[in-house]
Amino acid sequence: MTFMEIAQELVAGCREGRENENLGKLYAEDAVSVEAADMGGTGRETRGLEGIRGKHAWWDSTFETLEAKVTGPYWHGEESFAVLFEVKTRNKESGEVDDMHEIGVYHVADGKIVREEFFYPLEEAPK
């Protein structure tokens, strides 16, 4: 896939609920995922495709997505692009509803996503 096809497929997959399917299609086996803060008690950085699949499984088991808006991709050269996520979730355990906003920056090399980094608004930062 070309850089632009990867970017467009990632966004289409997020809009259509095909995120898990796209992991094997778009990500390198040794891809790295970096969160702005520790999510789920496993640290900020996850290495490898299986670890990233685990992050997705944790998210799916922890949150119900009530609404989602995915904007982009916003390209930056031939190596990276960004996507804006606006998601309303319900925590499956507590029932708490939350509006989440984040920017995902994706780095591509050799036809695969090799790194993703997530950024959150300062008002959502841990205190």
Structural domain range at position 76: 3-124
Number of domains comprising the chain: 1
In terms of DSSP H, where are the helices of the chain?
3-16, 19-26, 49-62
Q: Above 60 in pLDDT, residue 126?
A: no
What are the pLDDT digits (tens) for 81-120?
A: 999 999 999 999 999 999 999 999 999 999 999 999 999 9
* pLDDT top residue among 78 and 84: 84
The pLDDT value recorded for residue 37 is 86
Say which CATH number the domain at 55 has.
3.10.450.50
Cα–Cα distances (Å) from 19 to 24, 41, 55, 90, in that order, read 10, 22, 12, 19
- Residue 13: phi and psi, rounded to 5, are -65, -40
pTM exceeds 0.85: yes
Taking CB atoms within 8 Å and a gap of at least 24, the contacts of 97-100 are 97/66, 100/124
pLDDT for residue 60: 94
Select the more confidently predicted residue: 58 or 26.
Answer: 26
Give the pLDDT score at 122: 76
pLDDT attached to residue 94: 96
Instruction: Dump pLDDT digits (tens) for 35-56.
Output: 998 876 778 999 999 999 999 9
